[in-house]
């Protein structure tokens, strides 16, 4: 497969194969990938806008039984710093978010055996009663799977009950790499690729929109990354329920996997390469999101020329990635400045990618 063939496939809106993707990963000249990704981005997104959202990531608990080797956030039940946030603590965080113009709460935690379905139903009802204007983007597929298993309910039943309580959409966390041989090493207790995909399928069938993520730069190969993208693309063909794809890099500090890999991180070159190829392979996902939290503002700004059209979240609070070594923070004016300096127009959005300003 020649580069010219791939170029004309992209130009004509034809779908790329895994073989095409492997060829793209062989291209070391980032300017070539930038050109191709920009071509695809402009075919899918015909405007000159870069969107972002103001929200807060509330980690309602850090207790988790999954013991994922890449995670620096989780604690066991008896650890001194294990917690479950009180309603008052959660309310205070939401009040602060609303005061800053926030429209959404991204709520994720861990696989906490003490928290049954009733806990989430009561919590979501409480949030919606007190803050009806807040969009509740909550519970990753592993959390929903865990609730279903301990309650002996189907995934569809759990999602239905959560929707009745106020769930508005589901984040794409817990995907990591949707390949069994990688999962068996980095997250053997948490999920199977088919289970993660089934949660998303059931959510889409109930008219919930979701996002999809990919954590790369650990033990996976580029073939594994492409297989992950293809599985996301196939489900999107089936349901059309994904609003965005968010590729981010493994953070190696303070976890077992990082120690095993001698604390090596994916490079900026590797990040931009993978983001560009994500845009090229995922021809049916409208939005590709930057990961400034893991890569920093300058690389996130560069990614706008590699197929990215969304700067992600202002992220008033984020705990999981920060405990693995990431330490970047941005104000809204910083995000707008980074976007305008790249020649684009910044626009605030909501979870459905409706413009708010």
Can you tell me the distance from the alpha carbon of 302 to that of 339, in angstroms, rounded to the nearest whole number? 10
Residue 272's alpha-carbon distances to 76, 242, 285, 291, in angstroms, are 36, 22, 18, 11
Helical H runs in the chain? 3-11, 18-25, 30-44, 87-99, 117-130, 141-151, 155-165, 180-186, 193-205, 222-239, 256-260, 268-281, 292-295, 297-303, 332-341
- Model confidence pLDDT, tens digit, residues 262-296: 888 899 999 999 999 999 999 999 999 999 888 99
Residue 54 contacts residue 315 (beta carbons within 8 Å): no
Residue 328: CB atoms within 10 Å = 18
| Residue 355, strand partner residues | 349
Helical H runs in 45-179? 87-99, 117-130, 141-151, 155-165
Query: What tokens were used for 182?
Result: 């990688």
Q: What pTM did the predictor assign?
A: 0.93
Total residues found in the chain within this entry: 357
- Model confidence pLDDT, tens digit, residues 158-187: 999 999 999 999 999 999 999 999 998 888
Q: Which sequence spans correspond to the domains of the chain?
A: 17-348
320 falls in which pLDDT band (50, 70, 90)?
very low
Correct CATH for 17-348 of 3.20.20.70, 3.30.70.640, 3.40.50.300, 1.10.3720.10: 3.20.20.70
Can you tell me the distance from the alpha carbon of 164 to that of 121, in angstroms, rounded to the nearest whole number? 8
Residue 233 contacts residue 285 (beta carbons within 8 Å): yes
- Closest among 248, 299, 245 to 40, alpha carbons compared: 245
> What pLDDT is stored for residue 233 in this prediction?
98
Residue 311's alpha-carbon distances to 233, 243, 336, in angstroms, are 21, 14, 9
Examine the pLDDT at 226 and tell me if it is beyond 90. Answer: yes
Residue 280 contacts residue 267 (beta carbons within 8 Å): no
- Model confidence pLDDT, tens digit, residues 34-54: 999 999 999 999 899 999 999
């Amino acid at each position: 497969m020649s580069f010219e063939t791939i170029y004309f496939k992209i130009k004509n809106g034809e779908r790329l194969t895994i073989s095409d993707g492997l060829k793209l990963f062989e291209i070391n000249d980032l300017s070539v990938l930038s050109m191709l990704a920009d071509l695809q981005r402009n075919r899918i997104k015909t405007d000159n806008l870069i969107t972002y959202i103001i929200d807060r990531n509330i980690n309602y608990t850090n207790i988790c039984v999954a013991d994922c080797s890449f995670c620096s956030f989780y604690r066991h039940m008896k650890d001194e710093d294990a917690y479950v946030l009180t309603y008052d603590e959660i309310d205070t965080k939401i009040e602060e978010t609303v005061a800053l113009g926030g429209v959404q709460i991204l709520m994720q935690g861990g696989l906490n055996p003490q928290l049954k379905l009733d806990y989430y139903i009561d919590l979501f009802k409480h949030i919606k009663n007190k803050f009806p204007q807040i969009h509740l983007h909550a519970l990753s597929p592993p959390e929903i799977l865990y609730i279903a298993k301990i309650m002996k309910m189907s995934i569809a039943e759990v999602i239905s009950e959560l929707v009745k309580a106020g769930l508005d959409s589901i984040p794409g966390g817990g995907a990591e790499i949707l390949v069994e041989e990688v999962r068996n090493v980095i997250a053997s207790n948490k999920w199977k690729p088919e289970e993660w995909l089934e949660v998303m399928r059931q959510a889409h069938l109930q008219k919930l929109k979701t996002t999809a993520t990919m954590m790369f730069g650990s033990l996976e190969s580029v073939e594994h990354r492409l297989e992950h993208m293809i599985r996301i693309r196939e489900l999107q063909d089936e349901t059309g329920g994904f609003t965005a794809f968010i590729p981010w890099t493994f953070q190696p500090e303070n976890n077992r996997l990082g120690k095993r890999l001698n604390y090596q991180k994916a490079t900026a070159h590797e990040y931009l390469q993978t983001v560009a190829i994500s845009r090229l392979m995922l021809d049916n996902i409208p939005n590709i999101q930057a990961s400034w939290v893991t890569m920093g503002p300058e690389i996130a700004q560069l990614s706008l020329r590699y197929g990215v059209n969304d700067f992600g979240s202002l992220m008033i609070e984020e705990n999981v990635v920060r405990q693995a070594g990431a330490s970047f923070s941005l104000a809204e004016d910083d995000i707008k400045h980074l976007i305008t300096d790249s020649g684009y127009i910044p626009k605030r959005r909501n979870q459905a990618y409706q413009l708010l300003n």
